DNA sequence: CCTGAACCTGAGCGGGCGCTTAGCGTCGAT
DNA sequence: ATCGACGCTAAGCGCCCGCTCAGGTTCAGG
């Protein structure tokens, strides 16, 4: 009678729906079957709390309500879990930035949108983001190389927006690569310090950071 | 004939001098005796490369040219090593910010100086800074509380400068605590991405970041 | 019913972990 | 010359790690 387990963790139990009532995309909906998804979510939580190396496979399996051996039916190693998490998270991050970069509007609008949504994700999904952004070095060489390539694409998208703004004269940026790096660094580090019990909502942090970045690129609006 | 070992690692072998030829303060000079310092430096390097949890006491002792047991003559546990590193590093960071904050000059000058030297330290000593800033969660509750108190003091110093600038009308900052947080987050994250083989020197990053922060606080210079 | 496939568990292997202990060599002080 | 203090090592203890494997349960198709 283990069957009721798939409903026990109600937060992630909706089997095919990808949208919450709030309209936010349900994360990890692409991970199937259900048991694999529950293990992956358990791993995200454990990795975010304790770090990859300090997390045991027994802990992950326990959080998912399974025995330690069950993990190895769905994933070959503990590292594969991290790889899958990192890959999905970086895909999402790239998607967020690319959507904003490809949208219409002035460079200032596109940059603000990109920063706002990128920061909102790092704050709202800070558990995932923490793993995605800070546990990179635990991956093996090949997996790490794959992830680094995705990060370079994120960097390229942001640099593109800033370059557009410089070209139109909207922005005043002496060092485009350096400023791009700083903007991304600023946004990513939100995942490290953001606290759900803190005074700011993800929306508020997104708005604040969009304004700060607007200033960094010398936009006079 | 182990005595020559103290000269083997020439970079840190000057026994009492605290200044390098370049005038930069020699880190870890306060740690004595020599064997304890060598172990601590080895730990910093290992923690920075692999992370606290992935580093073994055997690795630390090996890097210092000693047997695993030697570590426990100078430090009670592996965690005490991290604690000492974190404590000394945070003391140094606080000292850097406080020196700039207490110096004479306009708020803009003091903020630029603080950011420049703070960033220069995070870039130049990025090995240490990485451990200091990113391995905090590996500490036990009491040690962590002590370190967090130091971080709050750093935050208070930066906030003070920004508040001064707002008071004199030099700065235009709608959200002082939020901007303070962002400035510090930006500087700290340098330790994560800075690469010695990269295109920028610590001085250059410091100058770039001082300029970016000047923009963030709305200083029209 | 039977069967094969899918999924999961209990038990446990080999190994490396943090840390301890008994004892050795080298000192300065007597 | 002797001695305790100090710094260190070789050996290893007990534990828990990532991971495996034989076997049990469930379920759809025939």
CATH class of B30-75: mainly alpha
pLDDT tens per residue across span A121-140? 999 999 999 999 999 999 99
Specify the residue for token string 């929306």: A203
Give the pLDDT score at B14. Answer: 37
Closest Cα in chain B, distance from residue A53 (Å): 6
Kind plus residue range of the DSSP H or E element containing B210: helix B202-216
Instruction: Find and give the residue nearest to C8, measured CA to C1'.
Output: A70
How many Cβ atoms sit within 10 Å of the Cβ of residue A171? 23
Give the pLDDT score at B58. Answer: 95
Residue A193 has pLDDT above 60, yes or no: yes
Contact A215 B215 (CB under 8 A): yes
Give the pLDDT score at B25. Answer: 64
Instruction: Find and give the residue nearest to C12, measured CA to C1'.
Output: A69
C-alpha angle B190-B144-A204 in degrees, rounded to nearest 5: 55
Residue A20 has pLDDT above 70, yes or no: no
Contact A181 B193 (CB under 8 A): yes
3 state SS of A108:
helix
Contact A182 B186 (CB under 8 A): yes
Residue A23 has pLDDT above 80, yes or no: no
Q: What is the DSSP letter of A140?
A: -
Are the C-beta atoms of residues A181 and A155 closer than 8 Å to each other?
A: yes
Give the pair of three-digit tokens for residue B26. Answer: 């020699």
Give the pLDDT score at B33. Answer: 84
Of B54, B174, B186, the CB nearest to A53: B54
Alpha carbon distance B163, B165 (integer Å): 5
Q: Work out the burial of residue A145: count CB atoms within 10 Å of its CB; fewer than 13 is exposed, 13-18 middle, 19 or more buried.
A: exposed
Helix B202-216 vs helix A176-188: crossing angle, to nearest 10 = 70
Are the C-beta atoms of residues A179 and A217 closer than 8 Å to each other?
A: yes
**Domain A28-75, second-level architecture:** Orthogonal Bundle (1.10)
Give domain limits for chain B: 30-75, 78-216
Of A175, A185, A215, the CB nearest to B189: A185
Residue A24 has pLDDT above 80, yes or no: no
- For residue A145, name the pLDDT band (cuts at 50, 70, 90): very high
Short-list B120, B122, B107, B97, CA closest to B217: B107
Residue A15 has pLDDT above 50, yes or no: no
Alpha carbon distance B20, B149 (integer Å): 31
Alpha carbon distance B208, A155 (integer Å): 18
Closest Cα in chain A, distance from residue B122 (Å): 14
pLDDT tens per residue across span A75-119? 999 999 999 999 999 999 999 999 999 998 999 999 999 999 999
Of A53, A182, A193, the CB nearest to B209: A182
Alpha carbon distance A72, B158 (integer Å): 49
If you average pLDDT over every residue of chain A, what do you get? 89
CATH topology of domain B78-216: Tetracycline Repressor; domain 2 (1.10.357)
- For residue A33, name the pLDDT band (cuts at 50, 70, 90): confident
SS3 content of chain B, % helix, strand, coil (to 5): 70, 0, 30
Closest Cα in chain B, distance from residue A39 (Å): 22
Give the pLDDT score at B21. Answer: 52
Task: Give the rounded percent of residues in chain A with a pLDDT score beyond 90.
Answer: 82
Mention every residue, 6+ apart, whose C-beta is less than 8 A from residue A168.
A106, A107
Contact B212 A179 (CB under 8 A): yes
Give the pLDDT score at A2. Answer: 29
How many Cβ atoms sit within 10 Å of the Cβ of residue B175? 15
Q: What is the mean pLDDT of each run of 10 residues along chain B (221 residues)?
A: 30 42 67 86 94 95 92 93 95 96 95 98 96 94 95 97 97 98 98 96 98 97 78
Are the C-beta atoms of residues B117 and B168 closer than 8 Å to each other?
A: no
């Amino acid at each position: 009678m283990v069957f009721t387990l798939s409903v026990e963790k109600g937060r992630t139990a909706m089997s095919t729906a990808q949208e919450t009532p709030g309209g936010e995309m349900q994360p990890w909906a692409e991970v199937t079957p259900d048991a694999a998804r529950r293990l992956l979510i358990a791993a995200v939580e454990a990795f975010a709390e304790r770090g990859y190396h300090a997390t045991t496979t027994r802990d992950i399996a326990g959080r998912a309500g399974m025995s330690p051996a069950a993990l190895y039916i769905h994933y070959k190693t503990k590292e594969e879990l991290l790889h899958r998490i990192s890959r999905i998270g970086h895909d999402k991050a790239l998607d967020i930035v690319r959507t904003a970069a490809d949208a219409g509007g002035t460079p200032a609008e596109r940059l603000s949108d990109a920063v706002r949504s990128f920061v909102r994700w790092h704050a709202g999904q800070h558990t995932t983001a923490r793993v995605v952004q800070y546990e990179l070095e635990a991956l093996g060489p090949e997996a790490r190389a794959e992830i680094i390539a995705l990060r370079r694409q994120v960097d390229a998208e942001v640099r593109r927006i800033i370059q557009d703004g410089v070209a139109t004269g909207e922005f005043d940026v002496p060092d485009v690569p350096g400023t791009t790096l700083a903007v991304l660094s600023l946004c990513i580090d939100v995942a490290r310090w953001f606290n759900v019990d803190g005074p700011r909502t993800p929306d508020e942090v997104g708005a604040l950071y969009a304004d700060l970045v607007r200033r960094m690129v010398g936009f006079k609006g």
